[in-house]
């Protein structure tokens, strides 16, 4: 079986939160209408959202919300994983 084609979104972005780089990757499987969101911290540990997103706008809003509301907690989770 052939691996599915991933389509990377132009919404993928790099964000510095409290001095730490987070890379938000937005992508979808070519045959699926919904997109996925994954963030990679400075230690190269990826975390993917369980839910898929119906629209690019929903992904963008979640990226902004995460950056704004969970910045310190979010960064600490990547720098000091349990």
Domains of the chain, residue spans: 6-79
Name residues whose C-beta falls within 8 Å of residue 8's C-beta, 6 or more positions apart in sequence: 25, 26, 27
pLDDT at 81: 59
pLDDT at 57: 85
pLDDT at 52: 94
Contact 35, 53 (CB under 8 A): yes
In tens digits, the chain (82 residues) has pLDDT values of 788 899 998 888 888 877 778 888 999 999 999 999 998 887 888 888 999 999 888 988 888 887 777 665 665 665 555 5
Question: pTM, whole model, 2 decimals?
Answer: 0.73
């Amino acid at each position: 079986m052939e691996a599915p084609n991933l389509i990377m979104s132009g919404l993928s972005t790099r964000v510095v939160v409290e001095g730490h780089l987070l890379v938000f990757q937005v992508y979808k499987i070519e045959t699926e209408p919904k997109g996925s969101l994954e963030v990679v911290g400075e230690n190269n540990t990826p975390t993917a959202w369980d839910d898929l997103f119906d629209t690019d706008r929903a992904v963008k809003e979640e990226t902004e919300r995460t950056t704004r509301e969970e910045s310190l907690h979010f960064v600490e989770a990547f720098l000091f994983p349990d």
